[in-house]
Structure 1
C-alpha cells in the first residue's frame, strides 16, 4: 500500500519540534504512542502493517487540516483538532473498533455515550473537556464525509453552564491581596536576578519582601539531594562529582545559566502583561528594539525607534511608574544578549531554536509560587483583574474597553465580574435619575429630582422656604404632591401635632411681633386635611382615623421620635 505524505505543512516548526503527521493514525496503537517515538516503532514493525481501510478517511482529515492552515486558522486551533483526532483514534484502537469512512458517524455516537458515562458515573471526564472534544471531532467528521449536519446536536453532551458569581467587597479585597502578593514576588525575582547575580557564583539567593527565600542553582540539583554527598558515600565519587559541579558552576555561558535568564524573563513578561493588559501571545511575539516614550496624561506611549531616526506607531501604553522598570529590563537584555536578540522576551531553549509563534508557558514562576505557597496568577487572570480594577475605578465602559482593546460587548460578556458594591452604586444612581417619585424629607412625594426647589405662587410671607432639607418647606414647594392614602393623612396629622408642640414653646422677643413660620405650616396642613375630609366619604373616614391615632398617642413613624423628644422637654 502506497501511503502519501500526510505531514501538516504550512506551519512553522522549531529545530527540535516533531512535525504533525497523520500517517500515525493508519496504525493500530499509533495514535496513543508518543509522537517523538512513534516513527521508530513503525520502522521497527512494532505497530504492525498500516490499515488500508483507514486511508481514505485519514486523507480526508488531512485535507481538512491543510485547508484550515491555508485559510489562516490559528495554529492552536489546528493543533487542538489534530490532538482530538489522535484521542478519538486512540479510543477506537483500545476498543478494537474497525474504522472506516462508512462507519465513522456511528463510531462517533458510541464514543459520545462513553464520554457521558465517564462524566456522570466514573467522574473521570469533565463536561467542558468532553463537550469541546465532541464539537471539534463532530466538525472534522462532518467535513471528512461531506455532510452538512451538526453531529454534536444528536448527542447528550452539553456545555458546562458558566455562572459568574458576584464578588463581595471582602472577596475582591482578598483577590487583590493575592494579586499584589504575586506581583511582589515577580518584582523580587526581577530585582534579584541582576547581571552580577546570574553570572556570579551559584547558588543565587532571592529574598522576598515577605521574608521567604528562593535558592536558585540554575537547574542543577542541590548538593543535599545527591547520593554522592550523603554521609557514607564513596570519597572518590564525591570528589569527582564535586569537581564537575565546580567546573560547570564556573561556566557562565547561556548553556548553563539559561534557567536563571528564563526565570527573569518570565517575571518581566508577567509584569509587562499586568501593566499593559496585552495578550500573552502578542507580548511574546513583540520584537526587541529601542523605544521612545511620550507622556499622555498619567501614562506613557511607547514608540519603536527605527535606525535612531524615525519612530513608528505607538505599540503599547504603560503607566509612568513602570517606565523606569521597563527601561532597566531593556538595558539588562542588552547585556545578556550583547550580539542582539530578535524578541522582547527572548526565552532560551536548550540546544534548540524556537519557532517564531511559539508561546512558552510560565512554568518556572509557577514552580516558585508552589514552593513559597503563593497563588500563581495566570496571564489571563492578570488581564481580567486589571480590566475589572480599571472598570471599577473609572466607571467608564468606553475608556476601559479602549484600554483593554476590546469592544464594549466583549468587555461586559467576557471580562466584567459582578460586584456587590458596584451593583449597589449603580442601582442607587439609577433610581436617583429614573424614579419619578422621590421621597422628600416631609410628608408626601416629590415629582422632580435635581431641580432647584420653587415656592408656590401664593405662599405666605412667613412660610418656610423649600430647600429639600426642612420638612416644613416641602409643603410650600411647587413640586410637592399629596398622596391619596390613610398613611399620608396620618403623617400630616402627626406633623401638625409636632408643630403645635413647637408653637407652645415659642416665645417671641420682648416687644417683638408674633411672626413664627410655624403658624403658616399648621394652617397649610389643616387646609390639606380639611380638603381630604370634605372630598369623599372614604377620605373622611381616613381623616377621623388619623385624628383618633393622634389622640391615642400613636404617631406616624416619620415623626414619632421627634414628638417624644419634644414632649419631654421642660
Structure 2
C-alpha cells in the first residue's frame, strides 16, 4: 500500500483493521498486543501529521480492560499496612524538615517513629557524602583539605542553592499527603497555585475555597478536619522558604532540567523509601487506596464517587478492587437475612456447621438435623444465652413439648414395653437447663420464675406463640 504522506492515514487504518481481523477471526494475536503495536505507531503518525486527536481513535482497536485478579485473605491487610507505614514516614519527613532543620547544619537528621533515622546531606549525585578519597592518591592530605573546605563552604551557604534538595524532599512528601487527603489527580494537584484560602465546614471536614472579597470563590478541594492544621503549617513553611513567590505554585518544586508543567516523579521520596526499606506508593495507587478505604467504610458507592469527583461507573470500573473480607461479610449477611436454616430452630445459638449429636444422646431422643427444634437439645453446637429472653423461650418451648407429650403416644413395642417418649426426653433436657439457671444466681432465678409465671398466664415467647396456639387450638 502507499506510504505517501497524503495516503498514510488510510494505510494505517486499513492496517489496524487487519490487526482487528487477526484478533477476532484468525485468533493468532491478543487484543492487548494489537492495541500496543498500533498505539506505538499511531503516536509517531500523530506527531508527523500534527494531529490534535490520536489517529488510533479512528480505528476499531480499543484498549482492553485490565482483568481484576483474585485477592487473597491477606491482600487488603497488607495493602493498608504498607499505606499506613508509607503515610507515617511522609508525616515524619514533613515534621522533621522544619525551618530550623532546613537552614541548620548538615546532614539533616530526620527521626522517624519507627526508630530509624534518615540522613539528608543535600548533595547532588548518587554517591555518599562525604565522598570517599582515592586510595592511591599521592596528595591525600591535600585532597582532604580541599574536600573539607568544599563541604564547609557548602554547609555555610544556607540558601536554596545548596538546600533545594531538602526543600524538594518535603514538598514531594507534602504533595503526596495532599493527594491522599483530597483524592485529587497529580496532574491537577502539582499545578495548583497559592491563594488566600477560606474554609467552610462540611460533613467530615472542610471545603477549601479561593477567598474573594465580598464573596467566596469556587470550591477548590475538600480536606478532612485533622488535615487542616498540617496544611496551614505547610503554607507558613512554604511562604517562609519562598518569600518572593507568594502567588506561585502551591507545591513549587525546584527543578534544574524539567519544565514546571511536567508532573514530578518523586525521586527524593523514592530514594528515602529505599533507605528506609519502605514500599513507595505512587499517587495513583494512593488515590486508589483512599477510594477503596472510603468505599468499604461507607458501603455507599454514590457517596464515595461524589467525594472523589468520579462518576459511579468510573469508580466501580477503574478504582474499586475486589475484597475477600467484604465478600465474605456480605455473603454471611445475605444468608442470615434470607436463609432461616442458618439460625438454629431451637432456643439458643449455633456455633458450628452441620449437626453433631452428643456422645451420651438417648436412643429415643430426637436426632440433631438442623431442622427439628428438639434435635438441637442434643447437639454439640447448641449454646444457651445468658439472658431472660432465652429463659422465657426455653419455658415456652417446654410447654409446647408438654402438649405434644399429652396428645401423641409412642407405639408399643412387640414385647409390650412402652419406649420413652421423645417429647418427655426433651422436657427433661429443658428442665435441666432451667434448673441450672435457677441455681446459678439470684438474677437467673428471677428470670426462671418470671418465665414460668408468664407461661401460667398464657403469655408465650413470640418464637413459640403461634405454634402453641396452632397445636392447642387456642
User: Which TM-score bucket, shorter chain as reference?
Assistant: 0.5 to 0.7
- CA distance change for structure 1 residues 213 and 131 in 2, over 3 Å: closer, same or farther? farther
Contact map agreement 2:108 2:120 (CA 8 A) in 1: yes
- CA distance change for structure 1 residues 394 and 130 in 2, over 3 Å: closer, same or farther? same
- What is the CA distance between 1:102 and its match in structure 2? 10
- Number of residues of Structure 1 aligned to a counterpart in Structure 2: 372
- What is the CA distance between 1:381 and its match in structure 2? 0.9
Tell me the SS of whatever aligns to 1:304.
Answer: strand
Match of 2:263 among 345, 354, 359: 359
Once the two structures are superposed, what CA deviation does each residue of 1:159-185 show, in whole Å capped at 9, x if it has no partner? 777332344453222211111111111
- CA distance change for structure 1 residues 347 and 166 in 2, over 3 Å: closer, same or farther? same
What is residue 180 of structure 2 aligned with on the other side? 274
- What is the CA distance between 1:397 and its match in structure 2? 1.4
Match of 1:442 among 334, 340, 345: 345
- CA distance change for structure 1 residues 437 and 283 in 2, over 3 Å: closer, same or farther? same
Tell me the SS of whatever aligns to 2:109.
Answer: strand
Match of 2:403 among 496, 520, 539: 520
Match of 2:278 among 348, 358, 374: 374
Q: Report whether the alignment pairs 1:264 with 2:184.
A: no
- What is the CA distance between 1:216 and its match in structure 2? 1.0
Q: Report whether the alignment pairs 1:239 with 2:145.
A: yes
Tell me, in whole angstroms, the C-alpha distance in 2 between the residues paired with 1:176 and 1:247: 44
- CA distance change for structure 1 residues 373 and 490 in 2, over 3 Å: closer, same or farther? closer
What is residue 190 of structure 1 aligned with on the other side? 94
Tell me, in whole angstroms, the C-alpha distance in 2 between the residues paired with 1:302 and 1:149: 39
Tell me, in whole angstroms, the C-alpha distance in 1 between the residues paired with 2:43 and 2:158: 51
Contact map agreement 1:304 1:313 (CA 8 A) in 2: yes
Q: Report whether the alignment pairs 1:332 with 2:237.
A: yes
Match of 1:417 among 315, 321, 331: 321
- CA distance change for structure 1 residues 181 and 284 in 2, over 3 Å: closer, same or farther? same
Contact map agreement 2:374 2:426 (CA 8 A) in 1: no
What is residue 316 of structure 1 aligned with on the other side? 221
Tell me, in whole angstroms, the C-alpha distance in 2 between the residues paired with 1:489 and 1:185: 56
Once the two structures are superposed, what CA deviation does each residue of 1:66-97 show, in whole Å capped at 9, x if it has no partner? xxxxxxxxxxxxxxxxxxxxxxxxxxxxxxxx
What is residue 103 of structure 2 aligned with on the other side? 199
Contact map agreement 1:104 1:141 (CA 8 A) in 2: no
Tell me, in whole angstroms, the C-alpha distance in 1 between the residues paired with 2:343 and 2:122: 71
What is residue 251 of structure 2 aligned with on the other side? 345
Q: Report whether the alignment pairs 1:408 with 2:328.
A: no
Contact map agreement 1:224 1:230 (CA 8 A) in 2: no
- What is the CA distance between 1:497 and its match in structure 2? 11
Once the two structures are superposed, what CA deviation does each residue of 1:110-150 show, in whole Å capped at 9, x if it has no partner? x99xxx9xxxxxxxxx9968743423525876997x9x999
Tell me the SS of whatever aligns to 1:225.
Answer: coil
- What is the CA distance between 1:230 and its match in structure 2? 8.8
What is residue 217 of structure 1 aligned with on the other side? 121
Tell me, in whole angstroms, the C-alpha distance in 1 between the residues paired with 2:344 and 2:319: 41
Contact map agreement 1:134 1:152 (CA 8 A) in 2: no
- CA distance change for structure 1 residues 516 and 310 in 2, over 3 Å: closer, same or farther? closer
Once the two structures are superposed, what CA deviation does each residue of 1:292-333 show, in whole Å capped at 9, x if it has no partner? 2222233112122236x5431221111111111110000001
- CA distance change for structure 1 residues 564 and 230 in 2, over 3 Å: closer, same or farther? farther
Q: Report whether the alignment pairs 1:287 with 2:198.
A: no
Tell me, in whole angstroms, the C-alpha distance in 1 between the residues paired with 2:106 and 2:265: 25
Contact map agreement 2:198 2:209 (CA 8 A) in 1: yes
Q: What's the TM-score, normalizing by structure 1?
A: 0.55
What is residue 252 of structure 1 aligned with on the other side? 158
What is residue 294 of structure 2 aligned with on the other side? 390
Tell me the SS of whatever aligns to 2:209.
Answer: strand
Contact map agreement 1:284 1:343 (CA 8 A) in 2: yes
Tell me the SS of whatever aligns to 1:163.
Answer: coil
- What is the CA distance between 1:438 and its match in structure 2? 6.1
Once the two structures are superposed, what CA deviation does each residue of 1:337-365 show, in whole Å capped at 9, x if it has no partner? 11124111111112x6834x321111210
Tell me, in whole angstroms, the C-alpha distance in 1 between the residues paired with 2:220 and 2:324: 36
Q: Which runs of 5+ in 1 are unaligned?
A: 1-52, 61-99, 117-125, 444-467, 471-486, 499-514, 530-543, 545-550
Once the two structures are superposed, what CA deviation does each residue of 1:351-388 show, in whole Å capped at 9, x if it has no partner? x6834x32111121011111211000111111111111
What is residue 11 of structure 1 aligned with on the other side? none
Tell me, in whole angstroms, the C-alpha distance in 1 between the residues paired with 2:373 and 2:307: 58
- CA distance change for structure 1 residues 222 and 363 in 2, over 3 Å: closer, same or farther? closer
Tell me, in whole angstroms, the C-alpha distance in 1 between the residues paired with 2:274 and 2:11: 44
Tell me, in whole angstroms, the C-alpha distance in 2 between the residues paired with 1:397 and 1:151: 33
Q: What's the TM-score, normalizing by structure 2?
A: 0.64
Tell me, in whole angstroms, the C-alpha distance in 1 between the residues paired with 2:36 and 2:373: 69
